[in-house]
Homo-oligomer: A and B are copies of this chain.
């Protein structure tokens, strides 16, 4: 590991293959031999590029965190604060439901190892963006004057995670496979919207526009 073969291309292939296997067979189904076979090398070759399986998965997770943060950042083209925060929540849910295997590895296998400083930084940046967005909404009069932006941002993230996690494990709206995935997606999004609704200064009823 410390002195890796001079073939960064292969390291990349290993990571990409690992990421696709994580989605195909779930984090627990990934084996060193399966990764190796798919890239056409022997299992021991992987150990020339990664110290062990944990490090390999950890690196895959760190890449995914960057990818995830990227997606959240991109989903910011709405003009008004409420619409924009809802857009961010939807982007969160969508990413998690599109990449359930990786999502579980990222957020539920915390004992795997600490995430990279870059990923921590990216996540903090996303959180700060949410927070300042909420603050902006408060200053614009969209959200209630008394809304604490830090608390609201924390709640937003925790709720998005809760919805995504429950949707993936099938513990909220029925088991996956038995319930239509798009229904789960819509109900989750509706609940995230509902959270934002409670922050509106002029909120007087069930979901509406803006």
Question: A residues bordering B, Cβ < 8 Å?
Answer: 26, 28, 104, 106-111, 114, 146, 148, 151-152, 154-155, 157-163, 165-166, 168-172, 175-176, 190-191, 194-195, 198-199, 203-206
A190 to B148, CA, bound (A): 12
State in angstroms the CA–CA spacing of A159 and B191 once bound together: 10
B114 touches A169 (CB 8 A): no
Residues of chain B with a CB closer than 8 A to A157's CB: 162, 166, 172
Indicate if the CB atoms of A170 and B206 lie closer than 8 Å: no
A110 touches B169 (CB 8 A): yes
A169-B108 contact, Cβ under 8 Å, with A162-B158, A162-B162 = yes
Give chain B residues whose Cβ lies under 8 Å from the Cβ of A204: 146
Q: List 5 A-B contacts (CB under 8 A).
A: A26-B111, A107-B166, A152-B194, A154-B191, A155-B195
A171 contacts which of B107, B154, B155 (Cβ < 8 Å)? B107
> Out of B107, B166, B169, B206, which one reaches A111, CB within 8 Å?
B169
**Could you say which of B107, B162, B205 contacts A163, with CB atoms under 8 Å apart?**
B162
How far is A168 from B107 in the complex, measured between Cα atoms in Å? 10
